[in-house]
Amino acid sequence: MTDTTDIETPEEAEALIERCKALAPGFAERADESDRNAAFPEKNFQELKDAGLMGVMVPKSHGGMGATFRTYTKAIEQLAKGDAATALAYNMHNIAVGSLSEVSLEGIGGSMAKRMTAFRDWVFEESVKGKVFASASSEPGLGAHFSKFQTRYRRVDGGFTVSGEKSFVSIAGHADYYVVAARSEDLEGSDVTPLSYLVVEADNPDIEFQFIWDTLGMRSTSTNPMKIKDAFVPKDRLFGGSEGLALYKIIKEPHWLVGGYNGVYLGIASLAFDTMVEMLKKKRIPGTDRPLTEDTRVQYSVGQLASRLRAARLVTDNAAMLVDTERGTPEANEAIHHAKLVCSELAPWLSSQAIRLCGASAIARRLPLERAYRDARCGGLMPATSDDCLMYLGKSALGADMSDPTENLW
């Protein structure tokens, strides 16, 4: 059980959201250049570090902000309104740190508790210092279906060696540590081979990146393939200090892998909506001096978009509250998949409709609406994909036990 003194107060939560809101204008000024050049937003990440935001999920007792999942979702929406690619890359750091901040040591004793405590404290300390952790999970041809991963690790003197390939590693070449998901060669034999995370340092000579990221949207995330060949990982860099717990955590509490993206795509939808409103206010009804906003058809269309955006925000907020209060329950897990589906599908639809309402001028690359449209297209592809979310919700509605690894999409 998390000590309530480690969690933010309402005043601290509001201050965190405002801190992220204050960073967004600077992110927005640099977003076009980063997008055009597919260049990693180094200055944005430095500002995140300077603001202490790499430790946003670290408990206050360890020098962090102790943010709840709900507050984090609201905060990252503000960052995404400035630059969605920065927010998405930042989320990849928090997937690792946030999940660790939820691990309870209650009921665990002996050497395991010592290992878990030592590892957790190290990650927290590094995060508060501004070090960046990147998630290295998705694999070629498999996506984020963890139970099917081909990356393997084996035990050796003093730790482990890891070998395999990862297809989409955000912050590639810019993180300090890479959290690599791998299956154990030593524990194989069951239907679902136990999965572990191992932390590989950026300067490990046995990892290699292919810098080939040149995409439709999210162009500055530096999401590149990673090859790992017998990379040595010390025993104390086994994530959580224990083997085989990763898949169990993912299936029981999938909200970080699924719902960490929700605020990002909600932020894109919000950016598209706000940009559209400002553009419409400057337009006139053809052949008159009357503002276009007086046209009832425009009012109807804007109202439709406003309603959908409001509904998505309520769905997202409800899911985040359930994660905070009922983490790991079927209700919370279904809600987070539903919210991911809603946000992923809303952002491209809303940005498309916004362009349609604003007209041809909206597709100019100097304006954020065109970039929002392209970034939004990536939402349904991020894990859990829109199809995976529908399958999860459908299976659950039909009575499947989604805590069963053989039923679960991961």
| Alpha helix stretches (DSSP H) within 327-398 | 330-358, 368-376, 386-397
pLDDT of residue 1: 42
Pick from 195, 219, 246: which residue ends a domain? 246
- Inter-CA distances, 338 with 215, 252, 325, 345, 406, Å: 27, 16, 17, 11, 21
Nearest 5°: phi and psi at 247? -65, -35
> Among all chains, which residue has been given the structure tokens 């920065």?
86
In a domain, 402, yes or no: no
CATH number at residue 309: 1.20.140.10
404 occurs within a structural domain:
no
Q: Flag whether 232 is in a domain.
A: yes
Q: Which tokens is 376 given?
A: 């939004």
Do 261 and 365 reside in the same domain of the chain?
A: yes
Predicted confidence at residue 195, as pLDDT, reads 87
Looking at 198, 222, 246, the residue that finishes a domain is: 246
Same domain (yes/no): 170, 205: yes
pLDDT of residue 147: 79
403 occurs within a structural domain? no
Looking at 70, 96, 131, the residue that finishes a domain is 131
Residues 167 and 148: their CA atoms lie apart, in Å, by: 14
pLDDT of residue 105: 67
Same structural domain for residues 181 and 167? Answer: yes
Q: Indicate whether 380 and 267 sit together in one domain.
A: yes
Angle between helices 330-358 and 262-281 (to 10 degrees): 20
Same-domain pairing of 260 and 321: yes
> Which of 282, 389, 326 is closest to 69 using CA atoms?
326
Residues 240, 325, single domain; the answer is no
- Whether residues 374 and 259 share a domain: the answer is yes
Report the domain count for the chain. 3
**pTM of the predicted model as reported, rounded to 2 decimal places:** 0.94
> 12-50 pLDDT, tens per residue?
999 999 999 999 999 999 999 999 999 999 999 999 999
Q: Is 405 among the domain residues?
A: no
d(CA 66, CA 16): 10
Residues 13 and 113 occupy one common structural domain: yes
Give yes or no: residues 287 and 271 share one domain: yes
- 410 occurs within a structural domain: no
Q: How far apart are CA 120 and CA 134, in angstroms?
A: 16
Verify that 314 and 214 share a domain, yes or no: no
Domain span holding position 19 = 4-131
Residues 378 and 295 in one domain: yes
117 shares a domain with 82 = yes
Asked whether residue 235 is assigned to any structural domain, the reply reads yes
3-state secondary structure of 243: coil
Query: What pLDDT, on the 0 to 100 scale, is given for residue 3?
Result: 56
Q: How far apart are CA 329 and CA 322, in angstroms?
A: 9
* Residue 190, pLDDT score: 56
* CATH code for the domain in which residue 210 is found: 2.40.110.10
For the chain, give me the number of helices (H) and strands (E)? Answer: 12, 7
Rounded distance, CA 26 to CA 83, Å? 9
Q: Is residue 407 part of a domain?
A: no
For residue 20, what is the domain's CATH number? 1.10.540.10
Give every residue of the chain whose pLDDT is below 50, as ranges: 1-2
